[in-house]
Amino acid sequence: MTTNQPNGAKRQNFVVFTLQAARDGEAQFAKSGKPWGQVRAFYSQGKDKQLDEFLPSIWFNVKAFGKGDEIEGPVAAIQKLAKGDKFTVVGRLGMDEWTGDDGVTRQAFTIYATSLEPFQNGKDEAGEDLAGEPA
């Protein structure tokens, strides 16, 4: 993927994943009044044919932050997600770390979304399959 950047802009790396929501997406407002949203999601690695066992899923927190004072863009898209929905997300990959109430340090992959689109049965929102053929 190539992105055009204005002069002086820092180089950004992006990831693109198609994930499945593990719970409903949510949006809320920070104390500053800016909206943000999050959803817990996973990527299923499928089944290992040689072992006849399912491989572990890879889990992500997906977060988006709004620029204005209204819920729109990727924050609104996250808010519309229901448990089980598949979606494609573009964003930066990060790692969050925290210490739980039990004193154990934990980590989680986080995708900071710049774009998020619903994904339905191998078709995009316009009803075209991924190969570009009309439905």
CATH number at residue 25: 2.40.50.140
For position 70, what pLDDT does the model report? 85
The CA R_g of the chain, rounded to the nearest whole Å, is 17
What lies within 8 Å, CB to CB, of 84 at 6+ separation is 20, 21
Residue ranges, the chain, pLDDT below 70: 1-11, 121-135
Tell me if 132 is assigned to some domain.
no
Is 23 within a domain? Answer: yes
Burial of 127 (0-12, 13-18, 19+ CB in 10 A): exposed
For 53, the domain range is: 15-119
- As for how many domains the chain has, the answer is 1
What integer pLDDT is reported at residue 5 of this predicted model? Answer: 46
Would you say residue 6 lies in a domain? no
Sorted by sequence, the CB contacts under 8 Å of residue 111 that are 6+ apart come out as: 15, 17, 60, 61, 62, 63, 89, 91, 92, 93, 94
Q: Is residue 5 included in any domain, yes or no?
A: no
